[in-house]
Amino acid sequence: MLFAGLVAAVSMRAGGIGDYYSLENIATPKGLDPQVGGLDFLPDGRLVACFHRGEVYTYDSGKVEWKLFADGLQEPLGIVAINDREVVVMQRSELTRITDTDGNGEADQYKTVCDDFGMTGNYHEFAFGPARDARGNLYVGLNLASSGASIRPELRGEFRHYGLSREGFKANSYGRASGRMYTATPYRGWVLKITPEGEMTPFAPGFRSPNGVGFDLDGQLFVTDNQGDWLGTSKLFHVQRGKFYGHPASLAWTNEWKKGRNPLKVASAEFDGKRTRGTVLFPHGLMANSPTQPIPDSSGGKFGPFAGQLFVGEMNQPRIMRVMLDKVAGEWQGACVPFYDAAGLGTGNHRFVFGADGNLWVGQTHLSWVGGQGVQRIKWNGKTPMEVESMK
């Protein structure tokens, strides 16, 4: 099986990905910072995209025309289209419903769906998602704060830290006492569930930097997490309510965790008993350094022979990965291979959406780290590549 996979991989690379797929660069509006935070399609077929500096644009591919829909948002990192006039966007500070009430193509109503999570102002407190389930519930992932910086004087939510008072942060001792990544307000390091009415439920703890939240075609929730402290290599997790996914900082916000207890001083064996294993491990430096959104091939065969499988982005390399999943004894496991490498693909492959025609749209970003920017579109030319179809 391993040998066959290697032969197949070599064969595809020898032929070149361009023999099977074509890639097109999509020009973005002049003057726009084209770092993409989210992509989706409206029911009428227009693309809707949110960008790093807070704009939301629609794009009519027939007219080759961008139109500003909304602006003034704070670092939006995900978008879901509700109907032709309404989207939900995950800003750093809140989940927001944005509506064009009069049908002129421009939003005139911004409503908070949920802001019931904490913020310290730490630069690393990104908010990812949303992904929507079949009942309309929305799932988002909250980044931990980084010891590369402190917190702001103004906080939102309860202050709770293992080993430091709020005054201790002001004394610049956060780096020594907090570990590499930390939480000081709820619910950093969690995946949250938010109902259409805005009711928030802390869903699952244990995440470091969950920059990929998505469902497969069967409604199973998958989340990627980024290599770093407590995470030897980046992973894809099958996420279920109440399970713990590895980074202990977020346990400060569980009901059973004693207030003020320092996870850095707890024996690792205690965490090992709680930890849920990753579904797929992405070998660091070889496969992925910073995986992003998982998206199922929903094209029904219009994008090649991989219908139903997951594609996952990668920030550091010009790569999109393919994940083959298998359920064994009730648990998901899988294998990952490069799907699209280089051949014109940019870096920072951050957000994805399939169009009705089966083409895959790719949005890129860097957020001042490694990555790229812009929008690209990938189309299958109808030829079947010599590749491993699945692993069991």
How do residues 180-197 score in pLDDT, each as one tens digit?
A: 899 999 999 999 999 999
Mean predicted confidence (pLDDT) in 11-33: 85
Q: Is the pLDDT of residue 42 over 50?
A: yes
Mean predicted confidence (pLDDT) in 254-261: 79
Q: What confidence tier does 174 reach under pLDDT thresholds 50, 70, 90?
A: confident
Q: Is the pLDDT of residue 267 over 70?
A: yes
pLDDT score recorded for residue 97: 99
d(CA 6, CA 130): 36
pLDDT score recorded for residue 122: 94
Q: Is the pLDDT of residue 153 over 80?
A: yes
Q: Is the pLDDT of residue 14 over 90?
A: no
Q: What confidence tier does 10 reach under pLDDT thresholds 50, 70, 90?
A: very low
Instruction: Report which of 329, 340, 312, 334 is spatially closest to residue 391, judged by C-alpha positions.
Output: 334
Mean predicted confidence (pLDDT) in 61-89: 98
Q: Is the pLDDT of residue 59 over 60?
A: yes
Q: Is the pLDDT of residue 8 over 80?
A: no
Domains and their CATH numbers in the chain: 2-380 (2.120.10.30)
Percent of the chain with pLDDT over 70: 95
The sign of the dihedral angle between the CA atoms of 67, 70, 76, 81 is negative
268-300 pLDDT, tens digit per residue, is 888 888 999 999 999 999 999 999 999 999 999
Q: How far is CA 265 from CA 163, 183, 207, 254, 256, in A?
A: 10, 15, 19, 17, 17
Instruction: Report which of 160, 312, 319 is spatially closest to residue 249, judged by C-alpha positions.
Output: 160
Number of neighbours of residue 153 by Cβ within 10 angstroms: 10
